[in-house]
A and B are shown apart, each in its own frame.
Chain A
Amino acid sequence: MNVLIIEDEKALAQELDIFLTGYNYKCEVCYNGRSASEKIAVNLYDFILIDLGLPDYEGLNLLKETKKTNGEAACIVLTARAEVSDRITGLDLGADDYLAKPFSLPELYSRMQAITRRKFGLKHHMVELGGFAIDLTERTISWGSEVVSAITKKEFDLIAYLLLHKNRTLTRTQLSEHIWGSVVNNDYDSNYIDAHIKNIRKKLSGFAQPDWLETVRGLGYKIKING
């Protein structure tokens, strides 16, 4: 998939490039609005990441141009301006999602995946994990014909997020940012992730040991899938 990264902060643009390349995206980077405008007019992209706060260009105009020449492209707006009005205008102009800086890179990937699934209408996204069937559309986890109903919404969020970044370690900070991202929290420690993981293991072990859910000592957690 082709991604155009429009970000005037070079250091950030480079990190986005490195990260997305690691997830097998083909990235092009623009540091200013003018060159981005040219690229949008000429090339076709699957994803366009737009920083709204470009010094030389009104970021929202880039969105409009994208709609004209790159109608199929999914736009994700990245901005340090967190005002509510921006959010509304951004989405009105056809942005598919919105990420306020600073955001976590795995979070960006999960948003891109969600858009892909939406766009291509993947009906049943099923994953098989150590005998468990995880339905990412219905958001259920089942053993044989039995649905593990004890798994809560938050717990499923964690499993799905780890599954999306399979075979990569996610830190507690990254995980808590994903599941408590909308809460303005007073504490900066994320030990509650441990409690969630403990609960998940307890609930699943009634059926089979979820060995695929690994604790990476001192670092975080990951879901291991071979192949």
Chain B
Amino acid sequence: MKLETKLTLFNTLSKLVIVILFVALLPKIIQKINQNFTDNKLRKQRDKLFELIRTSGIKDYTYASYSPLKPEYYSLDEDSTLENLDTIRNEKRKIDGDTIQYRILSYNFKLNNHKYLLEIGKSVDTIGETTTPLQNIAFAILVGMVFLTIIADQLYTSYVLRPLHLIIRTKLIGRKFPNFGSYREVETSTSDFQYLDRSIHEMVETIEKTFQKEREFISNASHEIMTPISIMQSKIENLFESEDVNDDVKVRLLEMQRILNRLKSITKTLLLISQIENDQFLKEDTIGAAEMLNEVYEEISVRLLDKNISYEMDIPADWKFVQVNKFLLFNLFFNLVNNAIKYNKENGSIKVTGSNQNGEYTITVADTGIGIDPENIPVLFDRFKKFRASLEQDSFGLGLPIVRSIANFHGIKINVSSEKNIGTTFTLTFPAGLIEA
């Protein structure tokens, strides 16, 4: 999950929890506030009454009164109870036949040797009257504010995370070693992202330098080796043609030629792999898939005769490779088919099949050969990895490394499945657009 999604999710959830908590607690809180407010008011009314009694005497105030709709209630009476009352309670009073719940302030006091009981009440219904609208308003304001903060959070998060997205999008996604292109600093005031950006850049630079060094080394080394090989090859060829060399010596010269050729092949192959891996080839060719595989067959058909291997090709005639390097792709198929021949059995068969499943194009090269040990499959594409079978075949262990380099260069995925003594299948899965039908 993306960081921004996570943050948004957390923001929303946490605010939702706050809203739920608040909604659950709101009635209680409002009730409490209302009660405190009423109690204070009742006390104030009591104090005001005492003020009046002090100035005007008590007689005029000894009565009970209810306003017509009975929201308030007031009584001042002589009372004989001895206890000192000073409470505010919810009590029921029966007035004119109605039982009404009141919030009542009861207060005992003595004046001129008379004991009085003062009661001031306010109907609970009246107190609760404001609760619902208050709750509604509070709820609405809360929801509004939560909504606003979610939007604000969202905007800010995406603003703050923008450099991170930029770093991911421009520096990580779809970037392929060794070609990263030029460095462009991502503008941000967040030091973490600055650090991240710089670190990625430094790592890329180190990798590029290493690549560049390897590229130069392999290229230089190959050239330096190619020149002496060239001289030796020419000398052997001239010697071979000169008349004063007898046939015995010629046979030995031939041995030398073959060994030199091996050195040459290895050097050429290494140079080619380094050139592919350093993106020194263009991908501008368009060629029919069947046409290319027929060319491979033409090149290689003579090798089938030795073990009487049958070759079957089933590639849709309208398939075209687009934006590929023809030379490289040819070599990829050549090496795969060549291996399928080399590691096949007498009277074996090779099948090259193209298939399209839901727009995913694959070409498989399947043989009925000796198969590959499961433990060898992971290292199959490593340079100079030789297995017992390949040693018998005079192979120098660079065929599959070339295949892999070329496949990587074109974004083709290779899958190997093999069963001992049954055969091996190489499946090439082509990226979208590389094959057009």
Tell me the residues in window 380-413 of chain B with beta carbons closer than 8 Å to chain A beta carbons: 393-399, 402
Which of A19, A80, A174, A199 is close to B238, meaning CB atoms less than 8 Å apart? A19
**Do A195 and B302 touch across chains, with their CB atoms under 8 A apart?**
yes
> Whole-angstrom distance from the CB of A121 to the nearest CB of chain B?
29
**Do A101 and B251 touch across chains, with their CB atoms under 8 A apart?**
no
Q: Contacts A102-B230, A219-B251 hold; do A22 and B396 have CB atoms under 8 A apart?
A: no
**Do B235 and A11 touch across chains, with their CB atoms under 8 A apart?**
yes
15 contacts between A and B (CB under 8 A): A9-B227, A15-B231, A15-B238, A100-B226, A102-B230, A102-B232, A105-B234, A174-B257, A177-B261, A186-B269, A186-B402, A187-B342, A189-B394, A192-B306, A195-B306
**Do A154 and B298 touch across chains, with their CB atoms under 8 A apart?**
yes
Chain B, 216-242, contact with A by CB distance < 8 Å: what is the 0/1 string?
Answer: 000100110011011111110110110
**Do A171 and B240 touch across chains, with their CB atoms under 8 A apart?**
yes
**Do A182 and B230 touch across chains, with their CB atoms under 8 A apart?**
no
Task: Give the residues in chain B near A12, CB-CB below 8 Å.
Answer: 227, 230-231, 234
Which of A19, A188, A195 is close to B394, meaning CB atoms less than 8 Å apart? A188
Is A84 among interface residues, defined by CB-CB distance under 8 A?
yes
With contacts A12-B227, A101-B227 known, what are 17 further pairs, Cβ within 8 A?
A11-B231, A11-B235, A12-B234, A15-B234, A15-B238, A101-B230, A105-B233, A154-B299, A185-B265, A186-B395, A187-B342, A187-B395, A187-B399, A188-B261, A189-B394, A195-B305, A218-B254
Q: Closest B residue to A106 by CB, please name it.
A: B237
> Whole-angstrom distance from the CB of B250 to the nearest CB of chain A?
6
Task: Give the residues in chain B near A199, CB-CB below 8 Å.
Answer: 302, 305
Task: Give the residues in chain A near B397, CB-CB below 8 Å.
Answer: 186
Task: Give the residues in chain A near B237, CB-CB below 8 Å.
Answer: 15, 19, 104-106, 174
**Do B302 and A101 touch across chains, with their CB atoms under 8 A apart?**
no
Q: How many residues of A contact B (CB 8 A)?
A: 48
Task: Give the residues in chain B near A177, CB-CB below 8 Å.
Answer: 261
Q: Which of B257, B306, B330 has most A Cβ within 10 Å?
A: B257
Is A173 among interface residues, defined by CB-CB distance under 8 A?
yes
Stretch at the interface among B149-157, B175-183, B331-339: B331-339
**Do B233 and A188 touch across chains, with their CB atoms under 8 A apart?**
no
Say what secondary structure dominates the interface of chain B: helix
Q: Which residues of A contact B (CB under 8 A)?
A: 9, 11-12, 15-16, 18-19, 22, 53, 80-84, 100-106, 152-154, 168-169, 171, 173-174, 177, 180, 182-190, 192, 195-196, 199, 217-220
**Do B402 and A152 touch across chains, with their CB atoms under 8 A apart?**
no
How big is chain B's contact interface, by range?
35 or more
Is B53 among interface residues, defined by CB-CB distance under 8 A?
no
> Whole-angstrom distance from the CB of A200 to the nearest CB of chain B?
11
Q: Contacts A83-B280, A184-B402, A186-B338 hold; do A19 and B234 have CB atoms under 8 A apart?
A: yes
Tell me the residues in window 259-296 of chain B with beta carbons closer than 8 Å to chain A beta carbons: 261-262, 264-265, 268-269, 271-272, 275, 280-282
Is B327 among interface residues, defined by CB-CB distance under 8 A?
yes
Which of B222, B238, B334, B402 is close to A105, meaning CB atoms less than 8 Å apart? B238
> Whole-angstrom distance from the CB of A81 to the nearest CB of chain B?
6
- Bound-state CA distance A127–B393 (Å) is 39
Q: Which of B229, B231, B282 has most A Cβ within 10 Å?
A: B231
Q: Contacts A15-B238, A106-B237 hold; do A188 and B265 have CB atoms under 8 A apart?
A: yes
Task: Give the residues in chain A near B272, CB-CB below 8 Å.
Answer: 184
Is B44 among interface residues, defined by CB-CB distance under 8 A?
no
Task: Give the residues in chain A near B251, CB-CB below 8 Å.
Answer: 218-219
Task: Give the residues in chain A near B331, CB-CB below 8 Å.
Answer: 183-184
Task: Give the residues in chain B near A186, CB-CB below 8 Å.
Answer: 269, 335, 338-339, 395-399, 402
- Bound-state CA distance A16–B237 (Å) is 10
**Do A84 and B394 touch across chains, with their CB atoms under 8 A apart?**
no
Task: Give the residues in chain A near B98, CB-CB below 8 Å.
Answer: none
